[in-house]
Chains A and B, each alone.
Chain A
Amino acid sequence: MANILIVDDSSTMRKIISRSLRQAGLEVETIFEAGDGIEGLNALGSGSIDLILSDINMPNMDGLEFVKQARAQGYTAPIVMITTEGGEDIIGEAINSGANGSIRKPFTPDQLQEKLGGLL
């Protein structure tokens, strides 16, 4: 059973991702939520996280900076970007910064299972 952190400025999207993770049949223990990269880093510091799902386009601290800082601070949990920013350049930048993969919004529970099943 995994602890998952969702970092997304949209509360609607955080709820959809949470619901889709359970619909996908992934073994989820607890889902933590953060509204931007700063809150995401704080959440990482307060618990044991097995997988991080992060948006890119967010206020205060975007997803790219969040990935860089999370890796710089030594967090090793897989980070998967869930984003509308599906361009190769921005996804490439996320991967180079330490992300492990990406999922494009919109997505289906089956797509989450396919991309995340191997990481849990």
Chain B
Amino acid sequence: MSLNAKVMEFAHLQEKEMAGYIIAATKEVFSTMVTMEVEDCYPLLEPITQFHCSVTGMVGMAGSYTGMLSIHCPALLAMSITSNMLGMEVEEVGEDVNDALGEIANMLGGHVKQVLSKGGLDLNLSIPTVISGETYTIRSMDNDDCVVIPFQHNGEKFLVGLTLKKEG
């Protein structure tokens, strides 16, 4: 699993640099908006496409290239994140958790868009989408055009992924 070499070449970026930007952006978003310190465990050793009792926030990118920035959290961690963001206890995966994870994906997507725009890629962001469930598969993380970065907070792991490919 790695980002499409041609896309990275066009954006004048190495995959490690892109991963570095995502790591820095994720740490900044969690530190300032979630008030939670997270550590990265990059690189991911084994591909992960199946999720259990999790919440996934995604924001699409469209333009001359298409892609998706996603964050995948176990449900318990997603509730802790939402509790911190809202300043109140959240005890179920529902509207609040979906909104919080969508907004985190949105902020990370905005950061990635800015990095790629500086490199010459023209992209627009979609409105965030969130899915959750006992078991689901993210097919976009099952191909060769993505980078996935594991993070952890107090031993609980979550993933941030970026898929990017040339249209047509």
- Report the bound CA distance from A106 to B107 in whole Å: 7
Contact A86:B103 (CB < 8 A) given known A12-B85, A106-B32: no
**Interface residue? A115 (CB, 8 A):** no
Across-interface contacts of B150 in A (CB, < 8 A): none
Contact assessment for B113 and A15 in the assembled complex, using a CB-CB cutoff below 8 Å: no
Interface flags, A1-26, vs B, CB<8A=1, else 0: 00000000111110110010000000
Listed A/B pairs (30) with beta-carbon separation below 8 Å: A9-B127, A10-B99, A10-B102, A11-B95, A11-B96, A12-B85, A12-B99, A12-B100, A12-B103, A15-B85, A16-B33, A16-B85, A19-B87, A57-B110, A57-B125, A84-B111, A85-B113, A85-B125, A86-B110, A86-B111, A86-B114, A87-B113, A87-B114, A105-B33, A106-B28, A106-B29, A106-B33, A106-B107, A107-B32, A108-B32
A81-110 interface (Cβ within 8 A of B): 83-87, 104-108
**Interface residue? B48 (CB, 8 A):** no
- Report the bound CA distance from A58 to B29 in whole Å: 20
Interface residues, chain A, with chain B CB atoms under 8 Å away = 9-13, 15-16, 19, 57-59, 83-87, 104-108
**Interface residue? B82 (CB, 8 A):** yes
Contact assessment for B86 and A12 in the assembled complex, using a CB-CB cutoff below 8 Å: yes
- Report the bound CA distance from A57 to B113 in whole Å: 13
Q: How many residues of chain B have a CB within 8 Å of chain A?
A: 24
**Interface residue? B109 (CB, 8 A):** yes
Across-interface contacts of A107 in B (CB, < 8 A): 32
**Interface residue? B56 (CB, 8 A):** no
- Report the bound CA distance from A81 to B155 in whole Å: 36
Contact A83:B110 (CB < 8 A) given known A12-B99, A59-B127: yes
